[in-house]
Structure 1
Amino acid sequence: MGQNIDKQCFSQADFVQFKQRLHEQLDALKNIMGQPSFGQASLQLGAELELYLTDDSGHCQLSNQAVLSKLKDAVFQHEINQYNIELNVPPVELGLNAFSQLAKQLNSRLNKLNQCCANLNTHATAIGILPTLRPRDLLKQNMTDLERYHILVDQLKVNRGAPFLIDIHGEEEVHMQVEDVTAEGANTSFQVHMMVPPGAFVPIYNAAMLSQSLVTAACGNSPVFLGKIVWDETRIALLKQVLDCRMRDSLARQLPARVNLGLGWLKQSAWSLYAEAVALYPVLLPYLYPQHPAEGLPELAELNLHMGTVWNWHRPVYCNQGTGHVRIEFRALPAGPTVEDMVANAAYSIGLAYGLSQQMEAYAAIMPFDIVDNNFYRAAQYGLDASIYWPDIDHYHVTYQPIQQVVLASLETAQAGLTLLGVCQQEIQHYLNIIQQRVEDKLTGANWQKAALHHFEQNHHRHNACAEMLKLYQQQSKNGIVVHQWERPWAARL
């Protein structure tokens, strides 16, 4: 989805030919993955960070084109709405100092972005959902004027055949309908790409799904949507609903939504996820790329494009560089609050996935996937106040526990996973200590936002309180101090 598409409409023949190419490329991918050299390369770690652009009052500013024109740096890219921008962090070696190197890259690029924004009276903010967002910010007129976005929005709307419904029940409720999926741009995330050792994709992928509830509870940063306090990670519900192009009360409702944690435990290989996507999800963008004689491995452009229109929270990403590989994209982490928080979230996610993968067969044997899926949504809604079912493989049973307790107990597993990946102990302790302190204090980004908002509501109406909260959030985020050490304005009233 990162490339532009220079075509405005598609014929039925385009859909037929695109589907044929998907089938051909599925066969090609199976053959490529069967080659002994596939995936034989040093492991790397990369990331994409989506940010909001706001004015001095904290409202969305339609300025991504102006910012990009001034930056002139290819690591920054458009996002679907004009008030969003994306930073693509160059990959680092997954080893001794991988996470501090990732943090260094992020800080360097964000400093450049912030300097550019200051000259344009713009503020770049890493936050899961902007608390000052208004219904008018979700309209199609705010969309970035690139053909790929227009086509995607139109195709999803055609498939849906009716307005998209947003119906989220949380601490407060949001009920509305939107004509287009541009509301998807309300969600900003920190997407981490992790290469995995050859032959280890299946257990690591399954472990990432198993542990996503813990990660979501520990890292929540999206509690406010359209002025309502909803879920700790409202993004999880919102993205699923605004990209659900299945018609209600039709046979299509029996098919899975295009946004999901998974459809069950992965049993064979990453190739199965591609085959599943081709089989179950209608083609949205049948763009046929020019075909040229390939040097090295084929790009499989149409297959990658189709996978980009299926929003798994953990997505396989095929790369044809070198001997080729399929990496895992961790997509459920929210943007913000700070670089240190985000890198700690990445370290915890990856360490836990790799640590749990060592005994994943035993976990999957006693833990039905439906329970894993339910855990994920409970964590998204209630954050560290959730309780979940968690497997005890030593005693062959599943227990119902407060998620805060499970997260703290899981840090040892995350440490073991990072150690196996060759990360140095000083780095492991630094980043996992951030998670531990945040969880012990029960002060995630989501909890800080909610408490600060309630504080400012003592003297302001809700929208103005959101603006005051955001202003303080932006100040402390730029200072780089981890969120559990932020100023707590509500504490002064106690």
Structure 2
Amino acid sequence: MGREIFTKEEDQDSTLFKQRLDEQLITLKEVLKQPDFGQGPLSIGAELETNIIDRSGQASHCNQWLLEQCQDPRQTLELNRYNLEFNLSPQPTLGMPFTRLAEEIKALIAATNKVANEKQNELVSIGILPTLSDLDLNDDVLSDMQRYKLFSTLLLKDRGEPFQLNIDGKDPFKLTTKSIAFEGAGTSFQLHIRVPTEKFSNIYNAVQLITAPVLAYCCNSPTLLGHELWDETRIALFKQSIDTRRDHKEWRCPPRVVYGQEWNRHGLWELFASNSRLYEPIFSEIYPEDPRNNKHLPKLEELQLHQGTVWSWNRGIYDHHDKGHLRVELRTLPAGPTVSDMVANAAVMTGLAHGLADDIESLLVKLPFKYAEYNFYRAAKHGIHAKLIWPKANGFGLEEHSADEILTLLWPKAWEGLIKIGVDEVEATRWLTIFKKRWKAQTSGACWQRQQLNALKATYPKQQALAQMLQQYMVYQRQDLPVSEWQTSAR
């Protein structure tokens, strides 16, 4: 979804597009067999989605103006006019990659805020902006790009009826809407881990396995339009807000927002082939054919476009630049609460992914994939209080464990994984410690938001309490004080 679409709906050629998908799947298989494909230094990268707010904490619909004023190629528009995304520079894993990533995020936010302040605006990194109103969640707020307008039209046409939002929680939320703007209400910190081609399946499966216990301590989206819902409401909202399936069928195909079908056994090609067979194309944009020579790897543009309209929470990425490489993109982590918290989350996920990869089969045979998916949604809903399914200690059968217990079992692998890929020991200690303090304090951004909101509601009406809560949140975020050190009060 990162590129503009120039063809109008009536000019989309679905027959040729599907033919290109078939051809490019064959080409992808051939490329992945090339001995020098994917060889090169390991790296991490990230995308940060942010919200733009005014001095009162309300969403400010000015992302186009901000993009034009900043003229920074790392910035791009997101779905709604109050969203702005940063595409951060890849960082080699040798040395201090997380510190370099954190410094780039802080510098980019500071430079953008300097411009935003001209309109009395500011960026905030948070899973769901608690001060959103109905005026921020309709087609009028969609960013002015052809791809978003066409996406809205075609997705609704595919469904054939309005979208149904039904999220349970302390104050359940239910709504019928024809707008995809709700999808843009959730913002994330998307981590990219470059992986060797031959290790793709192992690292991808490790990420699928560990996401739930890590996410439990990363949640930062407990409210939507004043309703207290999941700890990471963004997960349920994204899945439901663009679900093209209908409820009246006896059985249904997998949703386009999906955790996965099964443990990966055949690398990136398996993921791309599965998506190309299970899901009808939304867009049918046709691109110039790839040159047939040995100087450049094929772009596989139609295949890439289609993959971008199947939203796997953890997904494989093919990149044709230089000698080409593969990445695993982690889309489960929310934006915020602070830069330090986000980068610490990235360090833990990266370390565990690499630390568990070589021995991942010993865990996969003990845990059917459906339980990894179950764990993901339980962690998103209940956060640090989630009960997750995990193999028994004696190796026979399954039982419920807390995220705390599972992390205790896995934690040494986070350190081992970071050291294995060349991260400096001081660097590894710094970022793992930030996460561990939050874990041991049994808190998260979502926990703090709930506690602060409940304290403020004793004094203020709900909407004012939400605004006051966001104001205090921003104070801590500007200081880059890890959420484990945040205080709760009604002041």
Percent identical: 38
* Deviation (angstroms), 1:19: 0.4
In structure 2, the gaps of 5 or more residues are none
In structure 2, the partner of 1:205 is: 204
In structure 1, the partner of 2:278 is: 280
Instruction: Summarize deviations over 1:381-438 as a string: whole Å, max 9, x none.
Output: 1100111111257634433212222224422121111121111111111111111110
Does 1:18 pair with 2:17?
yes
Does 1:112 pair with 2:132?
no
In structure 2, the partner of 1:481 is: 481
In structure 2, the partner of 1:448 is: 448
- The residue type paired with residue 369 of structure 1 is F
Contact 1:340 1:481 (8 Å CA) reproduced: yes
In structure 2, the partner of 1:464 is: 464
Give the Cα separation in 2 of the matches to 1:218 and 1:351. Answer: 16
- The residue type paired with residue 474 of structure 1 is M
- The residue type paired with residue 293 of structure 1 is P
* Deviation (angstroms), 1:198: 3.2
TM-score by length of 1: 0.96
In structure 1, the partner of 2:234 is: 235
SS of the residue aligned with 2:87?
A: strand
Single out whichever of 362-371 and 27-36 deviates more from structure 2.
362-371
Contact 2:17 2:285 (8 Å CA) reproduced: yes
Give the Cα separation in 2 of the matches to 1:370 and 1:247. Answer: 22
In structure 1, the gaps of 5 or more residues are none
SS of the residue aligned with 1:434?
A: helix
Does 1:386 pair with 2:386?
yes
Instruction: Summarize deviations over 1:283-322 as a string: whole Å, max 9, x none.
Output: 0000111336365101001111000000001111111112
Give the Cα separation in 2 of the matches to 1:409 and 1:122. Answer: 44
TM-score by length of 2: 0.97
Report 1:136-175 matches (<5 A): 136-175=135-174
In structure 2, the partner of 1:347 is: 347
For residue 261 of structure 2, the aligned residue among 256, 260, 263 is 263
SS of the residue aligned with 1:465?
A: helix
- The residue type paired with residue 220 of structure 1 is C
Give the Cα separation in 1 of the matches to 2:166 and 2:290. Answer: 46
Give the Cα separation in 2 of the matches to 1:397 and 1:89. Answer: 42
Report 1:370-381 matches (<5 A): 370-381=370-381
Give the aligned CA root-mean-square deviation in angstroms.
Answer: 1.5
Give the Cα separation in 2 of the matches to 1:223 and 1:151. Answer: 31
Instruction: Summarize deviations over 1:224-279 as a string: whole Å, max 9, x none.
Output: 1110110110011111101211123247x521001111111111111100000000
* Deviation (angstroms), 1:141: 0.4
Give the Cα separation in 2 of the matches to 1:152 and 1:15. Answer: 15
* Deviation (angstroms), 1:58: 1.0
> How many residues are matched?
489
Give the Cα separation in 1 of the matches to 2:10 and 2:296. Answer: 30
In structure 1, the partner of 2:217 is: 218
Give the Cα separation in 2 of the matches to 1:179 and 1:133. Answer: 18
Instruction: Summarize deviations over 1:311-345 as a string: whole Å, max 9, x none.
Output: 00111111111221121111100001111100000
Give the Cα separation in 1 of the matches to 2:173 and 2:356. Answer: 36
In structure 1, the partner of 2:357 is: 357
Contact 1:220 1:383 (8 Å CA) reproduced: yes
- The residue type paired with residue 240 of structure 1 is K
Report 1:57-206 matches (<5 A): 57-206=56-205
SS of the residue aligned with 2:202?
A: helix
Contact 1:362 1:393 (8 Å CA) reproduced: no
* Deviation (angstroms), 1:484: 1.0
